Amino acid sequence: MNQVVFAARSRSGIGSTKAGRIRREGRIPAVIYGTSGQAMPLDLDALEFTNGIKGISESTIVKISIDGETKEAFVKDTQRDILNGKIMHVDFYEISQDTVVRARVPVYLQGNAVGVREGGVLEFPLHDIEVECLPRDLPESISVDVSELKVNQSIFLRDVKFGEGVRVLSNPDQVVVLVKFAKEEAAAPAPEAAAADAAAPAAAGAAVAPAAAAPDKKE
C-alpha cells in the first residue's frame, strides 16, 4: 500500500468561531502533536482527507505536507458530527523513524476453516493487537490463516508470527480465533409425551381437591 499524503496548512487562529469558518471553506480543523509534545494547529481539505483515510488504521503511518514541510504521523482521532457523520476535527501524532512507537494493529482472517465446513461456528474475539517497534517495522495489519482450524481448536496470540523487531504487548495467552460446535436446539417433545405432561398436573389437582378439609358445621 502506498503511503498516504495529506496536504495541510498551518493556522494561527483557534476557537469555535475560527473552526466554523474553516469548515464553511470545505476544510477540516486539525492538530498535530509533535514528538516533544507541542501542538501545531492545522487545517486540511475535507474531501481529500475523507477519501484518503478509507482503509487507514491506527497503525497506518501517513505523511502530512504542511506548507512545504513533510512530517510522518498517525491519525489518532477523528471527531464526527453525530447527525451527518462529517469529520469535524482530526488529531495527528507525529512520529520519528528513530523512536519506538506503540500502536494497535488490526487482525484479519485468511481462508475458510475446516471446522466450519464440519458444522462448527467460527468465533473471532481478538480484532487488534498492541505492539511496540520502530516505525519502519510496524505492520499495517496481521493476517491469520484459519484454513486448517478444526472444531474445538483455537489459535492463540502466541501462535501468530510477527516480523523481526516487533514486540507484542498484548497477552500471548489470548485467543485470536476458534471454532466450536454449534449449539443444538432442544428437541421438541413428542406429542404423546407432551399430552402426558399436560395431563399430569390436572390429575394431581383432582387428587388434591377431595382432601381439602370440609367446613365445620355450626350447631
Q: What is the pLDDT of residue 197?
A: 54
Average pLDDT along the chain, 219 residues, taken 10 residues at a time: 87 84 95 89 95 89 93 94 94 94 95 94 96 94 96 96 94 97 58 51 44 42
pLDDT for 21 equals 92
What's the Cα-to-Cα distance from 130 to each of 72, 138, 168, 216, rounded to whole Å? 20, 11, 6, 81
What is residue 13's predicted lDDT score, i.e. its pLDDT? 72
- What's the burial of 137, exposed, middle or buried (CB within 10 Å: 0-12/13-18/19+)? middle
C-alpha cell at 155: 489459535
User: Across the beta sheet with 153-156, what order do the strands follow?
Assistant: 120-123, 175-181, 153-156
Q: State the pLDDT at residue 35.
A: 82
Segment (H or E) for 21: helix 16-24
78: β partners: 90
Grid cell listed for 29: 480543523
156 Cβ contact partners less than 8 Å away, ≥ 6 residues apart: 172, 173, 174, 175, 176
